[in-house]
Amino acid sequence: MESNTLRIGISADWHIEPGMRQQRIRALNRLVAGVGERKPDLFLLPGDLFDHESTPEDRWALAGILENLAEHCPVYGCEGNHEQHDDLAVFNYVTNRERSHHVRIWTQPAGILPGTAHIERLPGGQRVGILACPWFDKANVGAHLPAEEARPEAVRLETINAAETMLRCFYAEAQRVKQMKATPIFIGHLMVAGSDTSTGQRLIGQTVELAPAAVAGVGAAFHGLGHIHLRQGWLDNRVLYPGSPDRITAGETDEKSWTLIEIETTEPFAIRSVEHIPLPSPAIHKVEIDMAAGEDLQGRLRELASTVLRGDHIRVRILRRPDQADSVNTGEIEADLRRIFLPTSLKVATEVQRAERAVRSDRIVGARGLEEKLEALWETEGGIASHLSRETVLTNAAELQRG
């Protein structure tokens, strides 16, 4: 039976890499299980599935997850800026044993030329037309300019021109998809101007920024994007970043999830609902231990056991006075924390607190002569180093002044 709604699952920015812990795979397995429960009509993966050029281990991991995902619905993806170009092409050959659905991943645009959108009848009976825009950057555009014209300003203008032309081409193709009684769906690995980034996300590469309205101008029923790890949407979520399924860097403190969106397939393609399904992501613990203010280092470290779970991210900042150097061994603390908590990431930093010298008391400013100034300084800053006597310092200082 044909219905006039489509339920679309979306996730992006998986950043699979050999160094990542099992926990990223755990989050993705949870995602697959959630897709099995909610049964969307299709699933979108707009890019950055790998963190960099893939290894065999990465490819096995991704192939396994895609196979499982394709058990539930067709999967459509495109290349991001982190993938080595064409690294994802091989996943077009992924099918699960039941061959129930397929995986299509574009490493070149689909739908930018007339007649090139991917039109398909879904198991539910609805027809969709997928338009895919893999990552492109200024260098791609600049490379085509003659050397004498490839000045930064020329490249910038040329890139904006190219992006606008590209969006107009997608628009024309989206219109054709509608004429064929199919619902146009756009995926892209793009940078939307004014996006809020997940704190700590590294944005790599020379980016072409597009306005949300310019992306929506493609005129698809839904525009699903990858690149920004913090989930967010514009224009009633017609343009949406689902965000990453896991904390790619420890700075990303936002809740991680995948997104299920329900849209009407008759114009004006209203969005009926948006649901973010949370995924397990390790917590981030930021601990500041102020030894300079008398806090007990070992005691505070022991307290971690009551909140930190295995695999969490741990950040410890220790503030100490110059004379407390012997009681802080960063390497030892790190080794202990690693052994106990198996953290996904760990950083222990110490900072030496020096007495504040920028602000001088009135007494120091008003003091006359070296002896009076020193007395005033010691009074303000809490004395002199313990192994020196007041007399020794004053005598030495007086001699220096004479000499």
* Residues of this chain that bind Mn ion (CB under 5 A): 48, 80-81, 227
Whole-number minimum distance, CB 110 to Mn ion, in Å? Answer: 19
Closest to Mn ion by CB, 31 or 228 = 228
- The CA dihedral of 391, 396, 402, 403, to the nearest 10 degrees, is 170
Tell me the two tokens of residue 206: 């020379």
CB 135 within 8 A of CB 190: yes
Rg (CA), the chain: 29
CB 257 within 8 A of CB 244: no
CB 228 within 8 A of CB 197: yes
Closest to Mn ion by CB, 48 or 312 = 48
* Closest among 387, 379, 391 to 355, alpha carbons compared: 379
Whole-number minimum distance, CB 316 to Mn ion, in Å? Answer: 30
Whole-number minimum distance, CB 248 to Mn ion, in Å? Answer: 10
Angle at CA of residue 107, ends 93 and 15, nearest 5°? 85
Whole-number minimum distance, CB 203 to Mn ion, in Å? Answer: 8
Whole-number minimum distance, CB 191 to Mn ion, in Å? Answer: 8
Residue 341 identity:
F
Closest to Mn ion by CB, 40 or 188 = 188
Whole-number minimum distance, CB 48 to Mn ion, in Å? Answer: 4
* Closest among 367, 392, 388, 397 to 379, alpha carbons compared: 367
Whole-number minimum distance, CB 349 to Mn ion, in Å? Answer: 28
* Closest among 238, 242, 247 to 313, alpha carbons compared: 247
Q: How far apart are CA 120 and CA 114, in angstroms?
A: 16
Q: How far apart are CA 299 and CA 316, in angstroms?
A: 14
Closest to Mn ion by CB, 50 or 170 = 50
Whole-number minimum distance, CB 179 to Mn ion, in Å? Answer: 33
Closest to Mn ion by CB, 6 or 192 = 192
CB 347 within 8 A of CB 315: yes
CB 98 within 8 A of CB 154: no
| Cα 270 to the center of its chain, rounded Å | 29
Q: How far apart are CA 320 and CA 302, in angstroms?
A: 18
Q: Which residues of 84-100 are buried (b: 16+ CB within 10 A; e: fewer)?
A: eeebbeebeebebeeee
Closest to Mn ion by CB, 14 or 91 = 14
Closest to Mn ion by CB, 186 or 269 = 186
Q: How far apart are CA 251 and CA 201, in angstroms?
A: 7
Closest to Mn ion by CB, 205 or 322 = 205
Residue 54 identity:
S
Whole-number minimum distance, CB 251 to Mn ion, in Å? Answer: 16
Closest to Mn ion by CB, 48 or 173 = 48
